[in-house]
Chains A and B, each alone.
Chain A
């Protein structure tokens, strides 16, 4: 049966956040081979912050990501390999290298109100013969109406699809549904949903999106990804199967892939701890999680306070540098309070 939506597995991209960008070539080869074998049609591979993301601010990659993309392309027999690119972090040269390495799809990500910085990159993707998908991050920070206007901009640049990207894992079921419905009504190209599990709603939000006619859904096997994790691919496939929704992926096979191939990479994946939940509750970018925990250790402050302050400051994706700023200030404040007391 024809799948009702196109599944993109981002274990090797969003999951890169969960392993501090330390994926090895061998891990990438194993995971791609297993996902491809289970029938996953699109597999995303790159630094968590996209091509060119290896940096002080986001963490240096263990292995050059173009090596990883090439390895993924070699292993895949049916699946297309995708990359993420964030204008302002990666450049068009990074995208050219990814195309040369064999990536066929690029997801071009901007903050949900800044779609107009994706124009050059969407045009370039098509020149390179790649499919170009717009990725409107932190979709919880704007309204369905304004999100639609931004999606229309991406469509006008030629995007083949636009995603509602819940980078903070902060959307409730109703909020996710309304954003997908607004995009379905406002653009002619495909609409996707990328859900995080900080509020334990990733599968539910993806199923609600399907009821609104969503065309593409992202998952990460075991949920391996930023924050408390992504929509677990194997749970999504299982829930779809039970709902009579064809996915093109064999449920028992993907459940095995999750357990045997991906879970060993991070056995504790799937726990929604206090920091993970707070991301969704306070609407904070999921990739901040590990950086905030590390800064909390270094400066002797509470990671919870860091995350809540980042939420108050309305910090957006990419501003990992503000974690140091907040931690240093919390430390100063604590020292001042102690001095006064």
Chain B
């Protein structure tokens, strides 16, 4: 007998919302029912209609009028739009999985802290850079002291839509916060770069972790490898570009002076659901959000 699926809607019919739609359709636990946008000519809405889903350009008002038919809303608009919508979702009894960098609810990275926030009304998916890098920081900080962590996230220009571009400041700040709040580093900094190369590059992430004295090199490397394998269970294109690199030098970090750092070079190839495989940044956000949505559905 098939269990009742949890009904979900997506608000935001841009790159992220459309990619998420394709993944939600495949979920055994979630029933993707509606895609909500504001632009009647949006390609995402046209694709939703082709798939036989409800698609509307009437914005969140449409969803709120029919809130009783839904359990979870995935927000894929922008940080400031989500700040307006979030209290209305909560009042209507809808759980929100926020894919913008608005950072209203707790930051969630599935392999690190998913179980801790299953009762929250609103959870935040951080950013693509945060989903790709906070797990690595967590992997290092679970085996040694990380006074400071820094990440560089580079995505193909064509995969960064207008929402991401207008939000670049929120993007860097929210990603930085995830390195400490989820990753467990004492200080964090995030850097985002857009690269317009042709053909488009795969999403690249570099994670620098300052290593406090007394770290065990093999233990740190193994912890990173284990975490990469765990993320790859829900983001198949997530992989190390090279083995973790240990560099010894004197580094005056914001978390104090250290004598070594470990550098983890990652790339993320997307599943190619909506955008081509280079857009691993879309894929890791949407795949992580599905994982969170499924956990929320199973918990309720």
Contacts and interface: CB of A to CB of B under 8 A. Distances in A.
| Same complex | yes
Given A60-B252, A60-B253, A314 B193 contact: no
A89 interface: yes
B242 A328 contact: yes
Contact of A88 (B193, B197, B198): B193
Given A56-B150, A60-B251, A325 B265 contact: yes
B195 A316 contact: yes
Interface residues on B, range: 35 or more
B141 interface: no
Nearest to A298: B247
Contacts of A315: 195, 197
A322 B204 CA distance: 9
Contacts of B288: none
Contact of A117 (B152, B165, B265): B165
Interface string B70-101: 00000000000000000000000000000000
Nearest to A119: B166
Interface in A84-135: 87-89, 91-93, 111, 113-114, 116-117, 119-121
B124 interface: no
B195 A55 contact: no
A77 interface: no
A57 B15 CA distance: 29
B206 interface: yes
B253 A325 contact: no
A329 B197 contact: no
Chain B binding surface, main DSSP class = strand
B194 A325 contact: no
Contacts of A88: 168, 171-172, 191-194
B298 to A, nearest CB: 37
A317 B191 CA distance: 12
B241 interface: yes
Nearest to B265: A325
Nearest to A52: B189
A318 interface: yes
B157 A56 contact: no
A23 B168 CA distance: 29
B206 A321 contact: yes
B173 interface: yes
Contacts of B165: 114, 116-117, 119
A131 B196 CA distance: 28
Contacts of B6: none
Interface string A291-328: 00000001000000000000001111111111011001
Given A87-B168, A88-B168, A88-B193, A56 B265 contact: no
Given A56-B253, A60-B253, A117-B165, A324 B193 contact: no
A57 B168 contact: no
A243 to B, nearest CB: 37
A319 B265 contact: no
A326 to B, nearest CB: 10
B58 interface: no
B150 A57 contact: yes
B120 interface: no
A56 B168 contact: no
A56 B166 contact: no
B8 to A, nearest CB: 31
Interface of B: 148, 150, 152, 154, 157, 162, 165-166, 168-169, 171-173, 189, 191-198, 201, 204, 206, 208, 210, 241-242, 245, 247, 251-253, 261, 263, 265
Given A319-B195, A321-B263, A325-B204, 11 more contacts: A56-B148, A56-B251, A60-B253, A87-B168, A91-B169, A114-B165, A114-B196, A120-B169, A314-B195, A318-B152, A321-B152
A-B pairs with the 10 shortest C-beta distances?
A314-B197, A321-B206, A56-B208, A88-B192, A318-B193, A321-B152, A113-B196, A56-B150, A117-B168, A60-B252
Interface of A: 55-57, 60, 87-89, 91-93, 111, 113-114, 116-117, 119-121, 141, 298, 313-322, 324-325, 328-329, 332
